[in-house]
Chain A
Amino acid sequence: MSDPRILRLRLNGQPLEVSVPPERILLDLLREELNLTGTKRGCDLGTCGCCTVLIDGRPTLSCLTLAHLVAGREITTIEGVTPATGLNPVQKAFVELGATQCGFCTPGFVMTAGALLREHPHPTRQQIADAVSGNLCRCTGYSKILDAITAASRGP
């Protein structure tokens, strides 16, 4: 292993200082070292979106991100968008409208959807479909995912 170096960033609103080697991938740092297992490892090659996290608010593939290259940035994982009690509006809509089946892709979709709604509070169905087109779901056929994101955009 090459030299570990100190990495400083903000993770889910808290400062973090951790020693990691240059080749460490963000997904591995989150899951294996920090035990933030809500971010899923589906393919490890950027082809499923299960590992989506926010970097400075933008949905990003943590499996294709070197940990050191997010130094100084704000990382938000699924743990960081889940309220201490209950669920956020996107999460609630996913549960109530059946947008999660096996659930393995779901955290990634929740991250992508949340960022979409911050950028476009009232997206069209086509915009939603385009926005989640980097997240693979094998269970739902996407229909109820698009329904849930639409519902979340309309508020409670």
Chain B
Amino acid sequence: MDPVSTEPKLRLLGGRIPYIEGPLKVSGRAEYTDDIKRPGMLVGRLLRSPHAHARIVSIDVTEARQIPGVHAILTGEKYPTQFGVLPITHDETAIAVEKVRYIGDIVAAVAARDEPTAERALAAVRIVYEPLPEYTDPHVSAEKVASPIHSRGLNGTNIQKEVIQHFGDVDAAVASAAHVVRVRGRFAGVTHAFTEPLVTIAESTPDGRLTVWSATQVPHYLHRALSEVLGIPMHRIRVIKPEVGGGFGGKSDPLPHEIACAALALETGRPVKMLFDREDVFLTNHGRHPTENDVRIATDADGRILAYDIEALIDGGAWSSFGTVTTYYNGVLSMGPYRVPNFRYRGRRVYTNKPPSGAMRAHGGTNIRYSIETAIDELAERLNMDPFDLRERNALPPNSTTVNQFRITSTSFVKCLHAARERSGWDGKHRRLPYGRGIGLGCGFYISGSNSPIHFTPKMPQCTVHLKVDMDGGIAVHSMQADIGQGSNTLMAAIVAEVVGVELDRVHVVRVDSDVSPIDIGSYSSRVTFMMGNATRKAGEAMREQLLHAAALLTGYPTERLEVGLERISVKHRPEVGVSYLEALHKAMERTGALLATGSYTSPPMGGDFKGARAGTAPAYSFGAYVAEVDVDVETGEYRVPKVWAAFDCGRALNRLAVEGQIEGSIHMGLGQVMGESMNYRGSRLLNPALLEYKIPMPQQMPEVECLLVGDADPEGPFGAKEAGEGPLIAILPAVGNALYDALGVRFTDLPITPDRVVRGIEQRTAAHRSWKGA
């Protein structure tokens, strides 16, 4: 790949590019799944289990089926094939078979002429359950249990996945250490709470085809799951992804209701729409795992990190989902941004009888990072070092390898530290603000795409992009990459416009449609900019080549002497000699008609040779250093975060408007997990399945955010770019936690930090800690 220093000056990329579909969104004209109506469409509804764990003794749908207006009722036995996002842990079914595993598990699906009829039908379904012991405490689930939730649990326990890794010699390192800090943290589950509820439409037609429109981040995985469970070859299924109203990982599994909806369409021969209410969405969950981390960090007397020793118990809920990845990530994503020469990790993810956890923005890298950054802050205190100095001393250098053999190429982490320190006025504030006010630093590290794509042999590209241009000069871009609001369509169009040399409005991104879109594996693991960007660039270059050849024929100059400008190809150093874009295009089309071009991306081989070695490998990593200020009402425990300085290394930011939006949105979401978002359970029962009682921060709670985009270009990223979708979330959580310590002298190791916990923390503050500001 070209060294970045020779990149020509970019016309669009690197600037602020408003979303190309923005005008449709602000006018209500963008089409989301629920906006679609099909002729004769029926209403699909689901019956959910009132039991957390029970055997289904019998289901009788006779009476329900006889209700006028009811077109079909399905129970689990018709499609018992198990599926799941990871091929190695297929443990879900579209509708429960033989047993239910959480309150909300799907036990029947109905298609009816309208909502009231569907609800009447569901009320008429007679089910006999035989309750089984409920497992809601992950510690209990980690032991041998009487009635395992799944048969695949480890040795009669509910352990879904155990990861044990050891690199170097942690015990020896700890024995030789000058300081060892241990932080134990408990993290409540949080959920995505995207504004667009989950919704699917399915339609089966007499030509033997099935079409599914769905609010999904992973249309291709949905395509595969539909095919596997319904037993229909993929080429007879068409998956369409309309506009998606946010995902954050909550739409990154193929979900049971999508398959149930399709099954109802097959059963009835009619289009069926299944729209979720908020409770349905909360019960579907797949949010961030409730987690208990136990982290020990050892350093020498100078603050050099000698070892990490980490244990984690992860509450997976009823299914596997991404859980195997979560279990690895919770360990291996601690391998940056610091050099860790010795590393030991034991992570266990257990099934419990609760709504399933899964992937949520900065999946696997958020809770563990909070614990680590809390420990680092405490180490700085003990070493009497500035937290910035301690982190800089341990920064992973560029072009290095971690102890678990992650390949680190570009990192601007030290630049992030410098920018955040300088812009925030840290040195004049840290430990110097009055009681109740504080400033804190937190850092982050995240994958820029997974090197280990789900469902594929490594030989198949992770992303393919097709371009088609006809005589009108408009360039249609096809790819299954899923824009869920992060701006990937805009980036894809801008890359095409940049490379081919046309105005942005010539480029049309065609809606994801498996009939025409070449495969991209979806919007997750912060892979889209990096992988789609590279694939799009290659496709654009292939198109540009065809135009250059045509221009060579027209001008009589060889292609090496030509250069591509905006809507024009001309001779280098002789701009008056050249042809317009359309002239070149029409010449090129004389031979073949409409021009086609393709580009794809496959990540290079990487990773060590041990079990689980590929987990966390990525073609690049993002880095961040955030400083947050807090202002605490020390009597009520209420606090504000008035200002955040967010220094982030996403390589070269290709669309600064979008990158800032990702950082600001990430800070909002991260603050939610700190300040009050929490899935509250009483036993197996979710107490707050509603937006009113799930405390997403309000605009008045948002800090002023200063985005510091200091990243140097990445050698392999498209035009030097890395991810900015998930990594930006991570650093805000410990930045606020550490700022609260600076303000109050209290370590908050658990999230969320609600006002009652702040008050309790202040009351329980030890005498030793009262002097943390040197008073």
Interface residues of A (CB under 8 A from B): 35, 37-45, 47-48, 50, 77-79, 82, 87, 90-91, 94-98, 100-107, 110, 126, 128-130, 132-133, 136-146
Closest to A126 in B: B700
- Return chain B residues, CB-CB under 8 Å to A87: 23, 26-27
Residue of A41, A44, A77, A94 near B22 (CB, 8 A) is A94
Bound Cα distance from A143 to B669, whole angstroms: 13
Pairs A–B under 8 Å by Cβ, sample size 18? A38-B27, A40-B195, A44-B278, A98-B19, A101-B485, A102-B194, A103-B22, A104-B195, A104-B245, A105-B245, A106-B26, A107-B27, A130-B700, A138-B248, A138-B668, A139-B665, A140-B661, A145-B699
Query: Min CB distance, B303 to chain A, in Å?
Result: 34
- Return chain B residues, CB-CB under 8 Å to A100: 19, 22, 25-26
Cβ A43 vs Cβ B691 within 8 A:
yes
- Return chain A residues, CB-CB under 8 Å to B19: 95, 98, 100-101
Residue among B195, B278, B486, B698 with the highest chain A CB neighbour number at 10 A: B195
Cβ A95 vs Cβ B702 within 8 A:
no
Closest to A94 in B: B26
Bound Cα distance from A82 to B23, whole angstroms: 10
Bound Cα distance from A107 to B691, whole angstroms: 19
Bound Cα distance from A100 to B657, whole angstroms: 11
Cβ B699 vs Cβ A133 within 8 A:
yes
Residue of A95, A138, A141 near B246 (CB, 8 A) is A138
Stretch at the interface among B28-36, B173-181, B464-472: B28-36
| Majority DSSP secondary structure for residues of A touching B | loop
Cβ B667 vs Cβ A141 within 8 A:
yes
Q: What 1/0 mask marks residues of chain B from 638 to 670 whose CB sits below 8 Å from any chain A CB?
A: 000000000000000000011011001111110
Bound Cα distance from A44 to B281, whole angstroms: 13
Q: Give 20 new A-B contacts, CB below 8 A, not counting A43-B278, A98-B660, A104-B485.
A: A38-B27, A43-B690, A44-B278, A47-B278, A77-B28, A78-B27, A91-B26, A98-B19, A101-B661, A102-B196, A102-B245, A106-B26, A129-B698, A136-B195, A138-B192, A138-B248, A138-B696, A140-B665, A141-B705, A146-B699
Residue of A107, A142, A146 near B26 (CB, 8 A) is A107
Decide if B767 is an interface residue (CB 8 Å cutoff). no
- Return chain A residues, CB-CB under 8 Å to B664: 140-144
Decide if B372 is an interface residue (CB 8 Å cutoff). no
Bound Cα distance from A130 to B698, whole angstroms: 9
Cβ A42 vs Cβ B28 within 8 A:
no
Residue among B24, B26, B484, B660 with the highest chain A CB neighbour number at 10 A: B26
Bound Cα distance from A103 to B193, whole angstroms: 14
Decide if B487 is an interface residue (CB 8 Å cutoff). yes
Cβ B691 vs Cβ A48 within 8 A:
yes
Cβ B28 vs Cβ A136 within 8 A:
no
Bound Cα distance from A39 to B660, whole angstroms: 27
Cβ A44 vs Cβ B277 within 8 A:
yes
Bound Cα distance from A40 to B485, whole angstroms: 16
Given A43-B691, A102-B245, A136-B195, are A142 and B485 neighbors across the interface (CB < 8 Å)?
no
Decide if B336 is an interface residue (CB 8 Å cutoff). no
Cβ B277 vs Cβ A103 within 8 A:
no
Closest to A109 in B: B26
Given A77-B28, A91-B27, A101-B665, are A45 and B699 neighbors across the interface (CB < 8 Å)?
no
- Return chain B residues, CB-CB under 8 Å to A138: 192-195, 246, 248, 665, 668-669, 696
Decide if B1 is an interface residue (CB 8 Å cutoff). no
- Return chain A residues, CB-CB under 8 Å to B248: 138
Decide if B775 is an interface residue (CB 8 Å cutoff). no
- CB contacts under 8 Å to A, within B236-284, are 243-248, 275, 277-278
Interface residues of B (CB under 8 A from A): 16, 18-19, 21-32, 34-35, 37, 192-197, 243-248, 275, 277-278, 484-487, 657-658, 660-661, 664-669, 690-692, 696, 698-700, 702, 705
Cβ A102 vs Cβ B484 within 8 A:
yes
Query: Min CB distance, A94 to chain B, in Å?
Result: 5
Closest to A50 in B: B195
The 5 closest A-B pairs by CB, nearest first: A38-B28, A102-B485, A104-B245, A103-B25, A141-B668
Residue of A96, A133, A137 near B700 (CB, 8 A) is A133
- Return chain B residues, CB-CB under 8 Å to A145: 699
- Return chain A residues, CB-CB under 8 Å to B31: 37
Residue among B192, B244, B690, B698 with the highest chain A CB neighbour number at 10 A: B698
- Return chain A residues, CB-CB under 8 Å to B485: 101-104, 139
Cβ A40 vs Cβ B665 within 8 A:
no
Query: Min CB distance, A85 to chain B, in Å?
Result: 11
- Return chain A residues, CB-CB under 8 Å to B27: 38, 78-79, 82, 87, 91, 107
Residue among A35, A133, A141 with the highest chain B CB neighbour number at 10 A: A141
Closest to B485 in A: A102
Closest to A107 in B: B28
Bound Cα distance from A128 to B22, whole angstroms: 21
Residue of B22, B28, B669, B705 near A37 (CB, 8 A) is B28
Bound Cα distance from A38 to B35, whole angstroms: 8
Bound Cα distance from A102 to B490, whole angstroms: 12
Bound Cα distance from A4 to B278, whole angstroms: 29
Query: Min CB distance, A49 to chain B, in Å?
Result: 9
Bound Cα distance from A138 to B691, whole angstroms: 11
Bound Cα distance from A111 to B18, whole angstroms: 21
- Return chain A residues, CB-CB under 8 Å to B246: 101-102, 104, 138-139
- Return chain B residues, CB-CB under 8 Å to A43: 197, 277-278, 690-691
Residue of A38, A126, A137, A141 near B29 (CB, 8 A) is A38
- Return chain B residues, CB-CB under 8 Å to A110: 26
Cβ A98 vs Cβ B658 within 8 A:
yes
Given A133-B699, A141-B705, are A104 and B32 neighbors across the interface (CB < 8 Å)?
yes
Residue of B22, B690, B702 near A143 (CB, 8 A) is B702
- Return chain A residues, CB-CB under 8 Å to B698: 129, 133
Query: Min CB distance, A140 to chain B, in Å?
Result: 5
Cβ B244 vs Cβ A102 within 8 A:
yes
Cβ B245 vs Cβ A47 within 8 A:
no
Cβ B699 vs Cβ A139 within 8 A:
no
Cβ B702 vs Cβ A96 within 8 A:
no
Query: Min CB distance, B746 to chain A, in Å?
Result: 27
- Return chain B residues, CB-CB under 8 Å to A41: 34, 197, 275
Cβ B28 vs Cβ A141 within 8 A:
no
Query: Min CB distance, B659 to chain A, in Å?
Result: 10
Cβ B195 vs Cβ A42 within 8 A:
yes
- Return chain B residues, CB-CB under 8 Å to A102: 194-196, 243-247, 484-485
Closest to B486 in A: A101
Cβ A103 vs Cβ B243 within 8 A:
yes
Cβ B702 vs Cβ A141 within 8 A:
yes
Bound Cα distance from A110 to B486, whole angstroms: 20
Query: Min CB distance, B98 to chain A, in Å?
Result: 33
Query: Min CB distance, A44 to chain B, in Å?
Result: 6
- Return chain A residues, CB-CB under 8 Å to B245: 40, 42, 102-105
